[in-house]
């Protein structure tokens, strides 16, 4: 589907930072982003509350606003604007869900995103990189079969069904494997690290 004149005009107004353009953009696409959040959560067997949806919508909007609308200015019109925004928002949502799932699994947060405690984007990126390094180091301590399950569930965000298919293991064995691996990873986690 090609870029419509309505979306082309809306995009042009946003990039020119015309008064009311951002509000019109939000009004036009908030339903799409909400759908992407619910669809992605359902596909990954993640329950989202209204508060979670609001947080994820905020993350999507922050990405779109960052660096003077860089994501929007990178749109080349090779598809509809809605298709482009679906891809962008899905990537943001998946990334945030994976980050949250990993933080919860390691006991760093209860049910809220760890991102609330990180003050800015640079710190967030640095924290994420450090966490990924720590996670990879802890995963190395696990038996190879358990490590594969942990990596697919927590780092790749796959559902139990997807893991079962990919690794050719019973779906009902994944929960116990993850519980066992979490216990083992908590035991090997550096005691000085606090989040």
pLDDT digits (tens, 9 = 90+) for 38-93: 988 888 888 888 888 999 999 999 999 988 889 999 998 888 888 899 999 999 99
Integer Cα distance of 55 and 83 in angstroms: 22
**Could you tell me the CA-to-CA distances from 14 to 85, 114, 129 in Å, in that order?**
14, 31, 32
Average pLDDT, the chain: 79
Other residues' Cβ atoms within 10 Å of the Cβ of residue 190: 9
This prediction's pTM: 0.54
Contact 131, 124 (CB under 8 A): no
Give a three-class secondary structure readout of the chain: CCCCHHHHHHHHHHHCCCCCHHHHHHHHHHHHHHHHHHHHHHHCCCCCCHHHHHHHHHHHHHHHHHHHHHHHHCCCCCCCHHHHHHHHHHHHHHHHHHHHHHHHHCCCCCCCCHHHHCCCHHHHHHHHHHHHHHHHHHHHCCCHHHHHHHHHHHHCCCCHHHHHHHHCCCHHHHHHHHHHHHHHHHHHCCCCCCC
Give the separation between CA 69 and CA 83, rounded to whole angstroms: 17
For the chain, domains (ranges, CATH) are 5-109 (1.10.1740.10), 118-188 (1.10.10.10)
pLDDT at position 118, please? 39
What confidence tens digit (pLDDT) does each residue in 120-146 have? 556 556 655 665 666 666 677 788 888
């Amino acid at each position: 589907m090609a870029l419509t004149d309505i979306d082309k005009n809306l995009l042009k107004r946003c990039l020119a930072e015309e008064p009311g353009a951002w509000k019109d953009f939000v009004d036009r696409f908030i339903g799409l982003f909400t759908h992407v959040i619910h669809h992605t959560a359902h596909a990954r067997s993640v329950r989202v509350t209204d508060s979670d949806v609001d947080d994820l919508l905020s993350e999507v909007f922050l990405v779109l606003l960052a660096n003077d609308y860089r994501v929007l200015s990178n749109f080349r019109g090779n598809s509809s604007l809605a298709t482009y925004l679906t891809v962008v928002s899905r990537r943001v949502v998946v990334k945030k869900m994976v980050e949250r799932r990993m933080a919860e699994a390691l006991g760093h947060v209860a049910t809220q995103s760890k991102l609330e405690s990180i003050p800015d984007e640079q710190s967030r990126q640095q924290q994420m990189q450090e966490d990924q390094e720590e996670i990879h180091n802890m995963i190395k301590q696990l038996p190879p079969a358990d490590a594969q399950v942990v990596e697919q569930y927590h780092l790749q965000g796959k559902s139990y069904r997807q893991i079962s298919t990919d690794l050719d293991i019973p779906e009902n064995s994944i929960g116990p494997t993850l519980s066992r691996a979490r216990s083992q990873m908590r035991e090997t986690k550096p005691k000085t690290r606090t989040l």
